[in-house]
Every structure is written in C-alpha cells, then in structure tokens.
C-alpha cells in the first residue's frame, strides 16, 4: 500500500529544519571516518563506496524513517523499492555521500544530499558539505538559503543563515560549473559553443549550490547520472530562481524505477531565460 502525504506538511519549514538536522548528523558521521583508513570497495558500476557512505546512509535512513514514516526512500546505497513496487506521489531521494572519490582523496568537496519528490519533481532539497561546515537548502516556490552549521548540530543552532538567489546572465561571459571526475567530451563540446569565460571544477553536487548562490551560471552534464545525484540540487536551484532541464529544454521527471533511476543528461541554469532562449539544444 502506498501512503499519501500532506503537501503542506511536506513543504513546511518545520520539516525543512528536521531534514536539515538529519543531513547535519549524516555530515558528522562522514567526518568521524578517516578517509586515509576508511574501508572501501568498488561497486559493479566501478564507482567507489566507503564506510563513510554507509555510515551516512544509516543516519539518513534512520532519520527519514522517523520524520516521514512510511515514505518510500530511494538511496544510492540502499535502492529501496523494486520495479514491482509503486513509489506513490511522494518519495525521498538520498545520496548519502556524493563525491566519494573526493572524500577518499582528502578533498573537501563531498556532500550528503536529501530530496523530497512530490509528483515527479523535486520540491525540497538539502545539501551538506561536511568539510566546509555549510548546508544549502531550498523549498521550490518559497526560497533557498545557505547555513553555516557545525556537523552534527541541529538546524536551529546555525551560526549563519543567508538567503541565496541565482543571478541574471552576465554580459561579460558565463561561469560554468564542471565535474572534476566526470567531465565528458560531449559536455566539453557544448560548453565550447557558449560564451564561457571560466570554469569551476568540483567533484560533487556543490556545483548546483554554486548556481543557486550566483557564483556560477551553467552546469551541464551530457553523460548519464542518477536521480539521487541531482534531485536535491535541482530543488535548491529552482527554489533560488534557476531551472534544470533536459538537453532539449524539457522538464526532468523523477521516479524512473524501471530505468534504474538513471538520468541521461541535464542542464542547470541560474537564469531561466538562458534555457528559454537556448539556440544550442542537443540535437538541434
């Protein structure tokens, strides 16, 4: 039986704080593990997974089970519902440690991500950067903000809360956020066709946060990824005034159980007018 959830409750500020606290605790669980000695293995898709991924996953699943009991949870480290199990109108998408390669390499770019999907679109997203002590969060249709929060602390203990917004397309050239580990040739070719004056390389969903807070203008990925990699980022970018689309300029949809939750490609824009005026959509 698929449980129905109240829309107002799912987009409430109280729930946002509860989810933020869950992500904060997951951040602390990640930092408790030394990347130099962390147990690790390689999954069937050749991506790494570590003890930190698993510790964060346990913390997030436990927290979500308390604050949204009965909600289906789809996590990279515990996929959850099978193709025979309907997700229903609302479900959670979790990436307990996005940027495992960066974590294991000792970089500070890794994140922990939670998104709540309502209908087939991410409506609320939280991204924590444990090593930076930062959390970005947003509710679509309301607002987005960045918190300075000690990993493990509750949301209401934040040292700083700053409202964030995307920026208009700059006249002097674009800043492109690009993947450090997955920058494919097709994406590089697309960016070469645009007036990009600089690129910022990063190994996790912080790229979405750079779009949301106006320090980057476009984040393109024309190689496959998964819904849990981008759902929280899409919610935050959208809440901050931006947009995320397919390369053809169409909305992304979520809940692709049969497809293994794979996303073929996407484009994220700080200024939605860039998407509306795109003369360079893939396939055109």
Half-sphere exposure for 36 (CA within 13 Å, toward CB): 0
Mean pLDDT of 96-117: 95
CA 58, 64, 70, 76 dihedral sign is: negative
pLDDT (tens digit per residue) in 225-255: 999 999 999 999 999 999 999 998 999 999 9
pLDDT of 112 over the 50 cut: yes
Query: d(Cα 15, Cα 171) in Å, to the nearest integer?
Result: 39
CB atoms within 10 A of CB 163: 10
pLDDT of 284 over the 50 cut: no
pLDDT of 42 over the 70 cut: yes
Sheet holding 243-245, edge to edge: 196-202, 174-179, 218-221, 266-269, 243-245
CB atoms within 10 A of CB 161: 14
Alpha-helix residue ranges (DSSP H) falling in 13-126: 13-31, 51-67, 100-104
Domains and CATH numbers, the chain: 7-164 (3.30.540.10), 174-276 (3.40.190.80)
pLDDT (tens digit per residue) in 120-162: 999 999 999 999 999 999 999 999 999 999 999 999 999 999 9
Strand positions, DSSP E, 76-217: 90-98, 111-118, 121-129, 134-139, 143-148, 160-164, 174-179, 196-202
What is the pairing mode between strands 73-75 and 90-98? parallel
Q: What six digits make up the tokens of 53?
A: 């991924």
pLDDT (tens digit per residue) in 78-91: 876 554 466 888 99
Query: d(Cα 109, Cα 149) in Å, to the nearest integer?
Result: 16
Query: d(Cα 270, Cα 74) in Å, to the nearest integer?
Result: 27
């Amino acid at each position: 039986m698929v449980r129905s959830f109240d829309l107002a409750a799912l987009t409430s500020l109280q729930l946002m704080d509860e989810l933020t606290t869950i992500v904060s605790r997951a951040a602390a669980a990640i930092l408790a593990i030394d990347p130099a000695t962390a147990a690790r293995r390689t999954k069937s898709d050749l991506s790494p997974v570590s003890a930190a991924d698993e510790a964060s996953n346990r913390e997030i699943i436990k927290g979500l089970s308390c604050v949204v009991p009965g909600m289906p949870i789809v996590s990279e480290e515990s996929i959850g519902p099978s193709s025979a199990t309907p997700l229903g109108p609302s479900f959670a998408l979790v990436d307990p440690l996005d940027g495992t390669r960066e974590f294991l390499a000792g970089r500070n770019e890794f994140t922990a991500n939670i998104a709540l999907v309502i209908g087939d679109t991410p409506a609320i997203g939280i991204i924590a950067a444990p090593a930076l002590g930062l959390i970005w969060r947003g509710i679509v249709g309301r607002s987005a903000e960045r918190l300075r929060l000690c990993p493990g602390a509750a949301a209401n203990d934040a040292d700083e809360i700053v409202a964030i917004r995307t920026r208009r397309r700059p006249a002097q050239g674009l800043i492109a956020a690009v993947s450090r580990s997955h920058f494919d040739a097709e994406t590089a070719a697309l960016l070469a066709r645009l007036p990009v004056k600089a690129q910022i390389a990063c190994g996790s969903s912080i790229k979405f946060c750079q779009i949301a807070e106006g320090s980057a203008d476009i984040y393109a990925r024309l190689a496959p990824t998964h819904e849990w990699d981008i759902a929280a980022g899409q919610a935050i970018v959208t809440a901050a005034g931006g947009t995320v689309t397919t390369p053809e300029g169409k909305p992304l949809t979520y809940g692709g159980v049969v497809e293994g939750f794979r996303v073929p490609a996407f484009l994220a824009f700080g200024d939605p007018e860039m998407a509306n005026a795109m003369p360079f959509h893939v396939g055109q």
